[in-house]
Amino acid sequence: MRVAIVNIGRIVSGDWRNPFVAGDTIVCENGRIASVGTASASDVSNADVVIDAGGTTAIPGLIDSHVHTTFGDYTPRQKTVGFLESYVHGGVTTAISACEVHVPGRPTDPAGVKALAVAAFKSFEHFRPGGMRVHAGSVILEPGLCECDFREVAKQGVWLVKAGFGAVKTPFDYAPMVAWAKAAGMITTCHTGGSSIPGSCAIRAEHLLAMQPHVSFHINGGPTALPDEDYRVIIEKTDAALQVCTAGNLRTTLLCANLAHEMGVFDRFIIATDTPTGSGVMPLGMLYTIAHCASLTKMPAEWFVCAATGSNARVYRLNSGLIQAGRDADVVLIDAPSGGAADDALSAIKNGDIAAVSAVITGGVPRFVGKSRNTPAGVRRVRVAENRLPRDFSG
């Protein structure tokens, strides 16, 4: 399928150092972005679908790097069906599992945690709820796992591990397992802050220093934050990505954003939701955290859009998150919400408002065009201008 998105007002790249791309057109072909720039007559005439963006802002699809998936589009924690498809209406085109800890009666023995991760990974390989790409299957680190276990699951395709819910004596016991997972080429993630569920324990800077994971999960608290003095230590003495989550502590989200900027490590600052959890199902969580960070710090709104897209993609080695030829064609059109104080998407976000989501394209396929069922409507009209396929994309 070839899709041309024309008449775009502004294109946010996904790279915070260089946050805008010149042009008004994005052409998607066979699931990838084919070109970004100015529309030619042939771009439009060769397209199966032409979307008139009406002057709205194009951003890469949001990547939520902390979602508690289980199996199918269902969360046992909040007994909700269809939550992932609902997140697509919040502009989320990729969800990365933060481990399948919510599976009822989840196994805790080494064979069980491996099987759970492999089954979750494989079950989402060909299942895209609402068009969303779900990277599932994160091994929950438990005592008894040995070095060969990580090589074995990595061979099955599993590439995520999570420290924080295991029956370890102290969090220092995770350190060798994290090292084995890294040696097997996996991305290692670690709970940070006070305990989140009964039975888990607090993880602080000293533990992260011993583990050196790729990602400090919900560094702002999940939901309970670290002592303030730990942030600087983690930034200075690890290379971990600093993941802030909607379902955490807002004050320390802002503390971490400002420190990341001041200390020259904004590359490591990434946004996620940590949902569904006790805090609920939050389809607009990514948009809320972007708006909170943009409106309550002095940094530009587009930086936080990039922290929710390209920065997540870089940390997790994904081919999405950037509006660039060759990348996965995950594109979201956003706008100022109608009736608000601002008249374009980035000004609205800086004002603290939720952007209106007007269209979502994932894997080069329009999933809905016009308006989201979860956000306010936008100021501008986005429509399918031409359609040569026997399909309706109005959602």
Binding residue for Zn ion, selected from 98, 160, 184, 226, defined by CB under 5 A:
98
- Burial grade of 199 (CB within 10 A; 0-12, 13-18, 19 or more): exposed
Compute the distance between CA of residue 292 and CA of residue 369 in angstroms, rounded to an integer: 26
Provide, rounded to whole angstroms, the least separation between the CB of residue 215 and Zn ion: 11
Cβ nearer to Zn ion, comparing 24 with 274: 274
Cβ nearer to Zn ion, comparing 196 with 358: 196
Other C-beta atoms lying within 10 Å of the C-beta of residue 55: 18
**Residue 274 within binding range of Zn ion, rule CB under 5 A:** yes
Cβ nearer to Zn ion, comparing 86 with 196: 196
Query: Judged by CB under 5 A, which stretch of 7-15, 125-133, 170-178, 268-276 contacts Zn ion?
Result: 268-276
Provide, rounded to whole angstroms, the least separation between the CB of residue 302 and Zn ion: 27
Closest C-alpha to 77, from 68, 65, 64: 68
Query: Judged by CB under 5 A, which stretch of 137-145, 270-278, 291-299, 324-332 contacts Zn ion?
Result: 270-278
What residues are paired with 206 via a beta bridge? none
Residues sharing a CB contact under 8 Å with residue 148, sequence separation 6 or more, in sequence order: none
Provide, rounded to whole angstroms, the least separation between the CB of residue 68 and Zn ion: 6
Compute the distance between CA of residue 204 and CA of residue 111 in angstroms, rounded to an integer: 29
108 DSSP 8-state letter: -
Compute the distance between CA of residue 15 and CA of residue 254 in angstroms, rounded to an integer: 20
Provide, rounded to whole angstroms, the least separation between the CB of residue 98 and Zn ion: 4
- CA 360-88-288 angle, 5° bins: 105
Provide, rounded to whole angstroms, the least separation between the CB of residue 274 and Zn ion: 4
Cβ nearer to Zn ion, comparing 144 with 278: 278
Provide, rounded to whole angstroms, the least separation between the CB of residue 278 and Zn ion: 10
**Residue 64 within binding range of Zn ion, rule CB under 5 A:** no
Provide, rounded to whole angstroms, the least separation between the CB of residue 65 and Zn ion: 10
Cα–Cα distances (Å) from 195 to 53, 82, 227, 243, 325, in that order, read 45, 28, 13, 17, 42
**Residue 100 within binding range of Zn ion, rule CB under 5 A:** no
Query: Judged by CB under 5 A, which stretch of 37-45, 80-88, 93-101, 344-352 contacts Zn ion?
Result: 93-101
Report the greatest alpha carbon distance in the chain.
Answer: 65
Site string for Zn ion, 243-262 (x = CB under 5 A): --------------------
Report strand pairing: 356-362 vs 80-81: unpaired
Provide, rounded to whole angstroms, the least separation between the CB of residue 277 and Zn ion: 6
Cβ nearer to Zn ion, comparing 222 with 337: 222
Cβ nearer to Zn ion, comparing 120 with 360: 120
Q: What ranges in 70-216 are assigned the alpha helix state H?
A: 83-88, 110-125, 147-155, 174-183, 205-211
Query: Judged by CB under 5 A, which stretch of 18-26, 169-177, 271-279, 380-388 contacts Zn ion?
Result: 271-279
Using CB under 5 A as the binding criterion, the count of chain residues that bind Zn ion stands at 2
The 3-state DSSP class for residue 124 equals: helix
Site residues (vs Zn ion, CB under 5 A): 98, 274
